[in-house]
Structure formats: C-alpha cells, structure tokens
A and B are shown apart, each in its own frame.
Chain A
Amino acid sequence: MPDWLKYVRQHLALPDCPPEREAEIVEELAQQLDDAYGEGLQSGLGEREALLAAERHVSDWPALANDLMHGGIGQTKGVQRRRLRQYAARASGRRPPSTAVPGREPENDTRRIAALLDAFRQDLHYAARALAKKPLFTFVAIVTLVIGIGVNTAIFSVVDAVLLRPLPYPESGRLAVVWSVLGKEGRAPSSGPELVSLRERSRLFDQFAGIWVQGGALTGKGEPEQVKLGLVTSNFLSLLRTRPERGRFFLPRDEGGGAAPVIVLSHELWQRRYGADPKIVGQSVLLSGQSCTVVGVLPSGFKLIFPEGASVPPKIDVYVPFQWDLAGQSPDQGYIRVIARLRAGATLPQGQAELDNIAGELRSEFRDYAEQNLHLQVLSLQADAAHNVRPALLALFAGTGFVLLISCANVAMLILSRADERRNEITVRAALGADPGRIIRQLLTESLLLSCLGGAAALAISWAILRILWVLQPAGIARTAPTGLNLTVLGFNLIVSLLCGILFGLSPALKSRATNLASVVRDATRTATENTHWSRQLLIGCEVALTFVLLTSSALLVRTFVGLLRVDPGFNPNDVLTFQVSLPDARYPTPARAIQFIREAERRLSTLPGVQSVGVVSHLPFDDNLPNWYDYFWREGAPKQERNTRMADHRSVLPGFFDSLGITFVAGRNFNTSDEVANRKVVIVDDSLAKQLWPDGDAIGKRLNVENGDFVRDVAEVVGIVKHVQYHSLTDQVRPQLYLPYAMAVRANMSFTVRAGSSPQLLIPSIRREMARLDKDLPVANVRLMDDYVADARMGARFVTVLCGALGAIALLLSCIGIYGVTSSSVTTRTREMGVRMALGAQQGTLMVTVLCGSMPPVIAGCVLGLALSRGMTPLLSTLPFEVQPVDPAILASVLTFLGFVGLSASFLPIQRVIRGNPITALRCE
C-alpha cells in the first residue's frame, strides 16, 4: 500500500502556507489519491496500474500548488506577487518596488487583515515556543518585569484612587473649598459674616455652605455616647448633592436662632445606636442635654472628604444646623470651613477672580478685614483634599517609574545577550529570504509576550503590595476610597506592559536588521558585535544613573525618618493615657459648674492607684478631630498696626497638664490656686512666643493681650515659660503656644492626660468607673495612648519612607544583577583575547587595567549622570509634607562607593578567574 502522505509531501511545495493548513491539504489530497487508488483496485486494475491511475489525477504538482496559493489558502495573490517581486529585487540587488496597492478592494482588505491576524498567531506561537525553549531566561526576565510592573501598578492604583478618581459626590468637579487668607498667617477658616458676604455677592457660585465640627454627647436611652457633631449651614448636605436614606435634610428654616432643634444622623449611628429603627424620623433624642428631633438619616458609606488639617474628619455622627445668626457674629471669629459649588460653565480661575474682588470690597468696607489683610482663596475640593499627599505620591510614582526603567534595562540586556546567541538563526532566516519586517515583528512579538506575561503576574504582586500599603496607610490616603484593582488600573497595567515590551524589545529587534550573512561568517569566532557592545554600555550607564538617584533619595528619606523617630516633640508621650469629655450646655450651663466638675474629676483620678499625675487640656497634641483654637496675641499697649499680626495656638489647661505630659518649664512657674483666689489673669507662654515678643528674655511679669474661651479679649500676666510643643507636625513649628487656666477659659470639650507608672491601659476600667460616678450620662470618648497620637504623626513620613526604602532596595538589587551580569559577561567574552595576551607575556596588572578600562567607563558615566540628576531631585523632595534634610556628601560618597564597588567586582572576579587559570584553556575558549 503506497504512503500517499509521503508522496504528496514530496511533490507539493506550499511556501508561506501556515503549517497547520499545509498539513490538512496534504492529508486531504492523500486521502483522495488513496480513494482513487482503492477504486482502481476494485475495478480490477493491478497494483501498479491502480497506482499509476491515481498518480495521473495530479499530473502538474507546481500548477496545483500555484492554484492553491492563488486560491488564498496561505497568502493572497497580492502578497504572493509582492513576495516574488521582493525576491527578484533582492536577487538582482535592486530596491524592491513600492508595495502600495492603489484602489484595493474591500474583499482584499479583509483577506489582508485575516492574513495579518494569521501571521500574528504564527508569531505568537513561535514566540511561545522560543520562550519555552529557554526557561531560565524566560523566568529571570518575567520575574524582573513582575517587580517593575508590579510596584508601578500598585502605586498607580493609589494615585488613581487619591488623585485621579472623582470624589464620591455627584458633579464633584464643581465642588470647591474656600479659605480665608489672613496676612502672613496663611489660610484659615472663615467667619460667619464672611460666609454671608460670599453668599450675597457671588455670581459664579451656586451655593456656599459651612461646617464646624464639635463634640457632643448622646444620652437618654442606652449608654451615654460621645459623638462628633457637624454644625452646618442648612444647605451643607444638599450642596454635596447627597440624598437622605430616610426623611429629609435641613431646610433654611432649621437654621438660625430660635429654630426648633433638628438633627440628621449618620447611617452608621442610626444602625449602631438605634438598631436601624425605621421609625427614627420624627423621634426626639437627647443631644448634649437638649431634646432634638431627628429629621433624616444619611445614606450608608457617606463620608466627608476635606483637606488634612481642616479639622473635619471623614465620619461625622450627627449633623446639626447652626443655631445662631451668622451675619451678626464678629468678623474675628473664623471657625467655619466653607465649601462651594461652582455654577455650570464657570471655572475655578474665574471663581478665584470673583473672590479676589469680593475680598477687596470687604477690606475697603470693614476695618477689621483691612487690618487682617483678608484674602479669599478657592481651590478644587478634590485637589485640596489630596494636597498633602500629592507630592509624596508623585515622588513615589516617579520612584516606581525608575524601578520600571531599571527592570526594562535589565530585560533589554538579557535580550541583547540572547540576540547574540540567536544571531546565526536570524541571519540564516534573512538569507533564506525572510522579510526583515517579519523578523522584527517576530522579535517584537517575543518581547511583547514576555512583557504581557510579566504584566499579568504583576497584578498578583500589586494586589499584595496594596494590602501592605493598606496597613501603612497615612490619613491622607485613608480619607479616600479603599484602593484596589479596577478597570483603570488594569488598563494602566496593560499599557505599561505593552510599552515595556516595545521599550526593551525594539532595540534588539532593530539590531536584527543590521545583521547580514557576511558579517556572521566573518565574525564567526566572536560572540558580540560592536553594536550590542555599545547598547550594553549605554544601558549600564542609564541603569547606574537611575539607581544612583533612587538610592540617594531613599537614603535621604530613611535618614529623615530616623531623624523623625528621634525628634523631641516637646513632651513625653510614654505611659500617658488620654480621653475626652464633652460637657453638655444643658447640664453644665455655667462656667462654675464646668470648673467644679473638671476639678473634681482631676482630683479623683489622681487618687487612683497607679496614677502619677493627671492633667486636663482643651486640645491634645496631634489630635486633628476638633478644630484647632488659635488667635492673635499682642503685648499690652502695642500700637494698632502690631495687633493683628501674630497668632498663637491657645490652650486651656489645668495646672497638672504640664506635669502629666512632661512639658518642661524654661522659666517662671505653673498656675496655682492663689491665682484663682486672687482672681488674677495669668498666662503661660512657650519659649518661641517669649522669644518673639521679648527677645531679651524678660517675659515673666509682662502682660499679654489674648483671647479667652468666650471669644473675648483679655489681658493676662505671663507667669511661666515652657518648652515649645509640636502640636501639629513633628517637624514644622506651625505657631507658638500660650496656655490659659481653665477657670479663665472654660471650654466644653476637654481632654484628660493621665500619666501612669506603667501599663496605662490597665487604668481604663477604674477611670470609666470614677467618671461614671461623677456623671453617669457623660460619655468617656477617644480613650487612646498619647504614644498612638505620636505614631499617627509619624505615619505619613513612615509611609513614604518605607516605600522609598523598599524601592531603593529593589532598584539596588535589580541593578546589581544587571550591572554584574552584563559587565562580567562582557569581560568573559574577552577571555580568548586575555589568553593570547598572557601567552605573549602580558603582565597581570596590565591585563587588569585593560579590562577595567573597558568595563568601568559606563559605570563612571552613570555615576556622574546620577550625581547631576540627584541634585535636581532635592527641590522635588522638599515638597514632601515633612522636612527632608538636604543631600549631604556622606550619602553621595556612600552611594558612589557602593556602585563603584559593584562595577569593580563585576569586572574583577571573572578576570581573576582567567588570570589564575591556564592560558591554554583561555586560548581554547570560544
């Protein structure tokens, strides 16, 4: 029985036909010939005759092949003809004629697309096979890419969530935040009259609304609970275009003096405290001793997104309309955080121009505003909410970009070394007539496949990185939605993967064009061309430069963070437990009642076993939940122009506060009972305030004009000077501080600081018991260690530093592998040359110098470039939300030494092997 498959294969040549299709054709023709042969036998022919009869079915095999090719099984006629023309041109040494086909029919286009897709499929198949053949190469390349693309995708998803994605309010692009800018003090909350003026005078904004966050207590049914109160204008919630889940939001009639007290509850509070009671709307609840009617419930997940430092936390439990007339308040009392909604079609710059005009009008109409040098600033709510984290995120994103470039450089170098190995294969393919474009496409497909595989695996890594970031999250990032992998992030990952594939695949692919048979034959004994040599030198130079910049920046940030860990906040946070109370007006209507309660609480707590000292203060350091209290101060009798120029943080304290937090007295004394008995107005200031007003050091006994707790000005005598306390940030000295005795500045929200001998948490039950004995309806809230507040303050810096440190380490690892791999392999390629030189009597030292002269220049050039680039990085790093120390020579020198060491050892070790070995072995080396 004849082997018809073999017979057809021997006779039918189908160049450019896809292999699978060719196999089908061969099989089908063989089948039909076999049918014909069988029929011949059946009809009584002998084997020989039947064979000949079957063979006669195809008398002209080339004509059949031609028919099949023209029938469109592999290439279209046009492609076939062009291929033939190109072949003829190549054979005769002419340039091929233009391949443009005028007036192509749509059917041809479809065929062309089908042919392209088919070619792509073939390329992909070939690329997968080529990668599978070199598993180690593929593994190393993919791991390198996973690191580069993974960190990039993770940081991008944070950037996307924090900086790019719109805020979770309808038409959030038109939301803006308005700040009053007072002289040198910078931005500040606005006063009631300012808000009213804005509403009256603006034409470009639909609405202005304001919020002021305070603490309150919910009593009545159940345990008393301290809640965050959002005191708001009646249009605040509707301006955000949120819809109530139940009931309604506020109406204009709910705002102002004399309005019936109404509240809106957060979804979480409604569920937690009222068991999601469907009939909550219309019920009365006791809020800070006052009976209020619930008019609505907010939807689940609603949160406020305000800039860090605005003292507006994301979660507020209860919203209450302002119960006073905003217009009638003093223009000095800035406490309202103002948001606005731009009219459709109006832009922020137009809005800013309008507010500039309004501020000008206010300054000319009111003396107070002129003295304060009032300006108004309007910013997009989204941009301002992220303004603190933006520089850090962008710096990190740039860092990950560097890591990605280093990964790409490494993979490009890997591919280049492989291109040397594959030079023969490529050259033979080209010599056999393969289209140069096709070879480039094939190599590019390989790198794209590699990068896409890396990109897909990187998604898993970035998911893991995001989980870690979630643990480290600083407040500015926590404010926005939880970060995860969404479509934007997936799109980014795909684009980055494709770009990487093109970036590291293009150069080796283009290099394949320059390859020709003659050069391969000529350079048979060499393994690297001059071309790839220069590409590698360039890649090493770039890689060293990028690593240099990353290492310098990381080292700088790590050192800054270590500095932050050591910074003295001005107090001792260890073993101090804190908690807050909010005295409701209804039950503590007079200052005397409040003073009596706070004093008694302090006295009782200090008698508890294990308690060393107890203090009370209106604002804890690093606590951003309540609005800060700061105002102007001046020397008694200061001329008018000096008055509204300097501001200080005002704090109301009981004398035990300084002792319990370990704040040191620089001069003078603490408050004492005799002050009160004699009804003396006294104040303690910090050293920086004392230095500002009395640089000669004679502050004690001087008299200072300050604001007391009732927004009323008072004159007090300086009796003590304490060390400055870092209230807002660990590094920035925002404002000086002054402390007033509680009896002189009674406030409703007070924090207790309890210093214990050890383990302050153990005191919590006894503290709660003691406070409940004093007032069972008063909630004890925010029970936290002072250490936790300090840790939070370090969080932002820790986030950036840990990530930068990690990026630096990754960059270092990748570039060490890259530099070492490439330098040592280029030294190894010179083994034979070394052997010849040694055989001719060259000295070891001379050989060493020769090799180093070849391998060190790109490392040195990279270091020089990196040095220049890192000088450019310093101003960028200074935009970070904490103070970064300038680049110092010690860091630069260490980075230089380290990278130099990597470069030297990469050259030194392989050449050492050659020198110590036998010259004959080196000579034999190919």
Chain B
Amino acid sequence: MIADGRIKSRFLEVESEFSAISSVAGAVAAGSRAFTATCSQGLALMHEVLFAIAGMRLPVVMVVTNRALSSPINIWNDCQDSISERDSGWIQLYVETVQEAVDTIIQAYKIAEDNRVLLPVMVCMDGFILTHTVEPVELPDDVEVKKFLPKYKPNHAFLDPTRPMTLGPFTYPEPYFKLRKELSLAIDNSKIIISEVNEEFGEMFKRKYGNGLIEEYKNDKKIAIVSMGSVCGTIKCVVDSRKDTGLVRIRCYRPLPKEDLIEALKGKEIVIVLDKNISLGLGSGSVFSEVRDVLYSLKDRPKVVGCVAGLGGTDIKSKDINRLIDESKKMKDGEVVWLI
C-alpha cells in the first residue's frame, strides 16, 4: 500500500515481534500514530514490552489475529494468546465480524488517544475464521474517517528535545505502587469512553456494536450464553432457532464491564460461559471464572456453567451449542465441560 502510494506512512521491517512492538512504542512515544499486528507466539514474544507500553501510557493500537499457543505447534484459532495478556494494562476489544474488525480499528485509535484514556488497545479478531474469510465489508470513506479521527496531536507522552520528559523511569516501591493503582483506575474509567466512541461511530457510519462494551442478542430468555468473538455469530444462529436462550457478547474484555454484565445477566436461570481459552490449573476458561465472580454479589444469582471450546481451531458447530444448552439444564452450578 505504501509502495503503491495509497497511504503515506513508513514501513519498518524488523527481525522479530519483540522489535516490532518496541519500534511501535518508540514511534508513538515520538508522537507518531503507529500500527502493528501479531498473534500466538509473536504476541507471547511481545509480552514484556506490552506491560511497559501500558505503564508509559502510550496510545498504541495493535491487532491480534487470535491463534493457539505452542506446544504442540498449532496454527489455528483460539484466544489463549490475548487472554494470556489480559493483565498487561491493554484495553482488549473482541470482534465478531470482519466489518467489526475494520470499524473497531478506527475506534481503537480514538479510544487510545483520548486524553481521559491514554492506554494501548488490542483489537482481537479470530485467526483464520475472520482473517482468511472473504465476506462483504463496507470500507468507511477516508474523508469521513479523518473527520471522525483527526490528526493525532500528542500532548501527554511525547519525546520532544524542546520539551524534555522521561518515560518509564526507575521508581521506588511507593511511587511504583501508586502508579499501578492509577493505571488500574485509568483502564476502569476507559469504559465510558469506549461506549462514547461506539455511539459516535454509530452516528457517523450507521454501524454500532451493542453499547461498545457488551452486545445483547435476544437476551430476554431464561438462559443466556456469554462469549466473545466470531463464535457469537454461530451462537446467534442457534439463538434464532430456539425459544429458551439469548446471547450476551462481551466485546470489551478489558476493562471488564462488570455493571453491564450484572444488568444483562441478573434474573437468569442459567448462564453458560463459552471460553476459547483454558486457564491451566483453574480447570476453566478465564471468562467463565470472571463472569461467575461478577455475579457473586447478586442475591439470587443464576446457575453459572462453563464450557471450554474451540481450542487449536476445533470447529464449534451449532449442533454442539444446541447440545450444550440442553445439557446445561442438568449441570451443577460451577461445572465446566469441554466441547470435544
């Protein structure tokens, strides 16, 4: 695209993902808008730098094309790679369609660069299932995008010789602790901006995704499935074919929209959480344990059951989801099954 003159950017070829994310960090710290994408082992190699970027409050945007982690080696989709970076201080948005991926990347810059946020954003899209799929996508007009997302003018973290500042310096225990607490508050507070940006995008481009944090689909039934990403498309088809089940799609996994989840899931008989990751040693996926934790404060809390599915690209079939819903009626609260 750069060689064809379609975008005016500089393409930087580096030798590893560690260098890629470090270069992006440097570019953003110098006041540029930058972009990179990775997945799986590549994301794992970036691990150390991810925390540094969040700590330096650099508004980096990166696409993660979710794929399984080794070993054994596997090139296909699951969400273990980005879920394993959930505590890094990055906002994580999970998309359902290719259209949502396009739209969310544009939104991500607006969120990241907002002075009330100043945090990195990971846009997570399922590897192969979305990245290698041909489907209709409406590409937003450049002029419109520039109106929605004007030129980046950094006034926070910006390396400028005329205005010297230090980024990511050495700190003693107490200031370190204080800054970690501030970072935690900052990512919590970003929820409101993520919703705002989703609304603003919706007004301008006539497409929006739930309230930006979660999307409810026919969620007026006794049973609710909670999940993230492209599998929610298949779940929506299952929901259409049944009378007893609705869907709550978590679009924003970090920060976790606790209040929205409580509101969407209170009064349910059964909540089924479908995870495409496994927290080894916990015996369940991360979304399951967090949703269950969120609902703990409810007086009459629903039965919450978990399902680990789709690891290493295993196809999640509609008939398996139907079977899972039927079986959930007999499952015990807290029980986790593997869809294999």
Q: Indicate whether A and B interact.
A: no
